[in-house]
Amino acid sequence: MALDLSIVGRASQPATLSYDWKTLATYALGVGAKRSELAFLYEGTPGGIRVLPSFAVVPAYAPVMELLAGSGGDMAMVVHGAQTVRVLAPPPSEGTVETVARIDAVYDLKKFAQVILSTESRIRGEAVFSTTWSIIYRGAGNFAGPRPPENEAPSLPKDREPTFSVREATTPEQALLYRLSGDPNPLHADPAFAEKVGFPQGPILHGLCTFGFACRAVLHAACGGDPTRMKSFSAQFRRPVWPGDTLVTRGFAIDGDRVVIDTRVEERDESVLANAWAHVVA
């Protein structure tokens, strides 16, 4: 199936998600939170349970999938290219989020097509999150379309030691836990399905789960665990991660308020998140 190029500018229907402490704790556990991070897991936290910045992808998932399903492209050929989340206002410990997604662009990558989507999430009319999604359709390129703009992510420093390094193992059940937050793709649960689509090693970890692990690492190492200090987090997905892999996230503070990130799988010594960086404030 060929992509319908007229989808640029198309908006989704408003999607609502009501969340409470169980929603937030399930997501936090899905991206590796430990009992030492009780503020993100326990409803009795003074002032209410805290919201991880990367939770912004959860209310955005349904409207993004709505638009992709209507794109005309083959959903079996989709891979996640990159993700950005922005926290526009501190979200409450519970609430109902209304999210609208929009297709901003379709780019020609020769063999692939790249679809760029953006979302905005509001609670009681106030914008709390925005996100940008890069979705790759394998085999859908060469339609004489425009090329994407140059990536403006800051470069990874190569001449100095990192400001911090966080090593954390995922569990063999990590993908099964993460999928409870809204992504039930069988690629992350069913060994037969995973082998059929090219992963004989078994189900892979959700890219957004790896994204959440790295975001947590930056949150604790660069923001003192305070989610109000992280304004945005962005990364490209470079290679798959399998449940049980050990992730090592290194951060390099630059320019006062930016942290450049490199996340690697320790067992294979390969980068799995690239062009990654966070905007943090004092």
Please list, in sequence order, all residues whose beta carbon lies within 8 angstroms of the beta carbon of residue 196, skipping any fewer than 6 positions away: none
- Tell me how far apart the alpha carbons of residues 56 and 64 are, in angstroms, rounded to a whole number: 13
- Report the catalytic residues: 183, 188, 204, 207
